[in-house]
Amino acid sequence: CITGTKEQMMAISGTLSLHGIATVAIDLPLHGSRGFDVDGDGADDISATFVSPTHFMNLASLPTARDNVRQGMADLLGLRLGLNAVADMTATQAIDLDVSKVSVMGVSLGAITGANFAAMANSTLGNDTLDGMFAINAASLESPASGIATFLMESPDFGPLLKALLLSESSEDFVAYVGQVYGENATEAQLREAYTDFVALLDAEARAEVEAVFAQFNFAAQTILDAGDPTAYAGMLGATTPVHFMSVVGDGGENLPDQVNPVVTSLPLAGQHPMAAMIGLEQVTSTISSETGTVSGQVRFNSGAHASSLSPAADPAVTREMQLQVGGFIKSEAQALPITNTDVVAN
């Protein structure tokens, strides 16, 4: 997840261990242990985890944002290659990994980079030995989405902050409003509130001008981000890798759909469902399996929330079901996608 750390994978590693699966995790660029302490005071000054998610999704330098995503993909390729050289240097010599059976599991931003990584890892290098050193058996992805610029702008969670930051650079009226209400050095939380309140005060003409600023930025941003966007890799992923895709779509009532990475957006190629479609996935509502090949599919959940595979806060039953699906899918080497609790699965 954006702002998250590799230690969050501990939440699912127990379930994976019960399936005989070892977990290896790595921080995304500028996350967790990979921030930068610029002034030497012991605290990271550049960190998507401890300071601001915009240090990763850098609005002031969109090529940096693009390359942060691509660096995350490259890091996973390096990690996958490194697994071929795992050696137990302890006295017990207890590590026994089958490095021919490696799969990837990611959540949100980790699922975006994980999807791109799997697509590249399973692209042939023209040498069977090298191909085997990078090979990924299966990909289990929770809440990734394509069309990064669009889904972030339309995200109920991130959208208000991104729009506030854009208006801070383009609207004197917004800057004056923030200064009047919050004074200097408004926090990101205050900027989110300021954006919502400011837009509510605008008439139709002024709101149209603001939306034009957002549309212009969205077009420019997506043009730059395309090289790191799942849209560029989804077809390749579907052609080379079995995929288990999980999305929280809500129940049409109190349980809302994913509020971080939207399942759908105003554009046909942006969102979770469009990404699943580009991979070539169909919705799955009950257990599927194959005795002779592999299976893939998108499971939609009527309960839970973003990152429920790692956190039971929204609905423990969803977390349990997601984790069992991940474990079963990877354990079977994608020959089965087990669904146990259909009560939390949308039809």
Query: Which tokens sit at 25?
Result: 């995790």
**81: Cα separation from own chain's centroid:** 22
Residue entry with tokens 């205050």: 190
The single residue listed with the structure tokens 């791109």 is 116
Rg over alpha carbons for the chain, rounded to the nearest Å, is 21
DSSP 146: B
Alpha carbon of residue 62 to chain centroid? 18
Q: Using an 8 Å Cβ cutoff, are 153 and 159 in contact? A: yes
The Cα 80–Cα 113 span in angstroms is 13
Structure confidence at residue 27 (pLDDT)? 98
CA dihedral 137, 103, 243, 106 (to 10 degrees): -170
In tens, the pLDDT along 236-279 reads 999 999 999 999 999 999 999 999 999 999 999 999 999 999 99
pLDDT surpassing 90 at residue 94? no
Question: What pLDDT score was predicted for residue 88?
Answer: 73
| pTM, rounded to two decimals | 0.95
pLDDT at 21: 97
What residues contact residue 215 under an 8 Å CB cut-off, 6+ apart?
A: none
Question: Residue 65: helix, strand or coil by DSSP?
Answer: helix
Domains of the chain: 6-147+229-344 (3.40.50), 153-224 (no CATH)
Q: Are 289 and 273 in contact (CB under 8 A)?
A: no
- Residue 90 confidence (pLDDT): 76
Please identify which residue in the block is written with the tokens 């601001």.
52
Q: What percent of the chain has pLDDT over 90?
A: 95
Question: Is the predicted pLDDT of residue 207 greater than 80, yes or no?
Answer: yes
State mean pLDDT over 93-108. Answer: 92
108-137 pLDDT, tens digit each: 999 999 999 999 999 999 999 999 999 999
Question: Quick one: pLDDT band at residue 96, thresholds 50, 70, 90?
Answer: confident
